[in-house]
Chain A
Amino acid sequence: MTAKLDLYKVHKAEYVAPKEPVLVRTKPARYLAISGQGAPGGTRFTACIGALYGAAFTIKMTRKFAGKQDYAVCKLEGQWFFDGDPAAVPKDQWKWKLMIRTPDFISQEDKTTAVDTLLKRGKSREVEEVTLETIDEGVCVQMLHVGPYEKENETVALMRSFAEANGLKLSGPHHEIYLSDPRRVPPERLKTIVRVPAVKQDS
């Protein structure tokens, strides 16, 4: 049996996240994704997480059952889209894209088959909204945020100064990789990789 593929280990350099900002160069990466609007933990948000994991597990296990290359389902990630200061936007208007990184060999057909399987099982319609897409973030400022999500603005401020000191500016969107499970890990111990694409200041 071939060893299980772990994308975070294969692309280790893209997941370097010390407690101070660093520059990482990311390559285009494939994700299963679902977009929406609403407060984190709200009905729509929760349904989308369920749909995303449903697709991720079904694709993986269908391939595994067929004897194809096995891989670990990666952690949940999210992109957040704000015009201006997030603190000024009511939570129910927050726009996000939830994502799970997926190997390049996963095809649209794999995804379509999985969605059909899930719908036949009576899973909610959100699974039809799951997309398979490639995201190219290029050069990013990245660091590990330890603590509640509400305090991420402090981390982002550090990242912004770091970018400026390096002749760059943050261009967004704001990307989070959730290393801890907020259902059990206390807020002060939550670990999240924060990644924000950056471009040259004069561009």
Chain B
Amino acid sequence: MKDSAKPATLRFYKERLLCVLVHIQEHLDEPLALQELARLACLAPHHFHHVFTGMLGESLGSHVRRLRLERAASRLKLTEMPVVQIAFEAAYETHEAFSRAFRKAFGLSPAQFRRRHGVGARIQIPSGVHYRHRKRPGSFRAAQIEDKTMNVTIKNLQPMRVAFMRHVGPYNEVGKTWEQFTMLLGKDGLLGSEPQFIGISHDDPAVTPPDKTRYDACVTVDEKFRANGEIGVQVIPGGDYAVLTHFGPYDKLGESYAKLLGQWLPRSGRRLRATPCLEIYFNTPENTEPEDLVTDIHAPLEPK
């Protein structure tokens, strides 16, 4: 890889995300359309939230909530609009909920804030993206690689034939699917000599309702294995993958995804491929404390 390739990809990802930020600010009153945002970012929807969170230092949901609060603060200062209406337009259903969120962000109630002089309507954020009345965001600071010891390797994987069971429901309940799936495979002698346990998440839990998020629990199998009942067969595409080992509980995987896709990737000179990310598990919560769990996160890359 040439060094000159690195800033070019950083510029590419920053430009794409800037289009997304402009779109968000122009549609603050509408529900988020993930497909549209992902299209503007030139990213697959299942990659979008990791890149966004990693580069902006906040999730899409937090970003929108923060901008709406900043807009509300600015309206309190600059207009005579009643607080109830401002609250409603900031997407809060009750005045109380709005006051609570507002106080948490600015340390003052909306009424106090309106009366007080010399307090800004911005909430501190490293990206430097804020709500500005009738002005589009012109740039942002992409998050730096915060963990200098982060060790990302690039691996070329062969396509993997896997048996899988689809889980539809909250991601924190995939354990139940694994229990059922490994029981059905294990009783037939299909676990043992280095089977690889792989997870594929198809949805963004920040956007897709928890009861609709999809996840595939996968185990590598040989050519002789046939799909049956609830167990399907798929081939996980081979090719280059950027690999980061995540040490610790599964509910913190999102942080590692954001570091890999939002901090490492833009500086890598590589582009993401649209196929899903993979998680390869080295141990199991069944006999391992959450802080000792080891997972390799694989992000698919376009060929060089």
Contact = CB atoms under 8 A, between A and B. Distances in A.
Contact of A50 (B187, B192, B222, B296): B192
Interface in B247-301: 247, 282-283, 286-287, 292, 294, 296
Contact of A53 (B193, B247, B294): B193
B287 A65 contact: no
Contact of A54 (B187, B189, B245, B292): B189
Contacts of B185: 61
B183 A185 contact: no
Nearest to A64: B183
Chain A interface bracket (under 10, 10 to 19, 20 to 34, 35 or more): 35 or more
Interface string A53-88: 111111011101100000011110000000000000
Given A50-B194, A118-B192, A73 B287 contact: yes
A53 B282 CA distance: 14
Interface string A120-154: 11111001000000000000000000000000000
B206 to A, nearest CB: 28
A73 B292 contact: no
Nearest to A50: B193
B189 A179 contact: no
B193 A65 contact: no
A181 B186 contact: no
Contact of B190 (A64, A72, A121, A184): A121
24 contacts: A8-B287, A50-B194, A51-B192, A53-B191, A54-B191, A54-B193, A55-B192, A58-B191, A58-B192, A64-B183, A65-B187, A72-B287, A117-B187, A117-B189, A121-B190, A122-B222, A122-B224, A123-B189, A180-B292, A181-B282, A181-B283, A183-B282, A184-B282, A185-B247
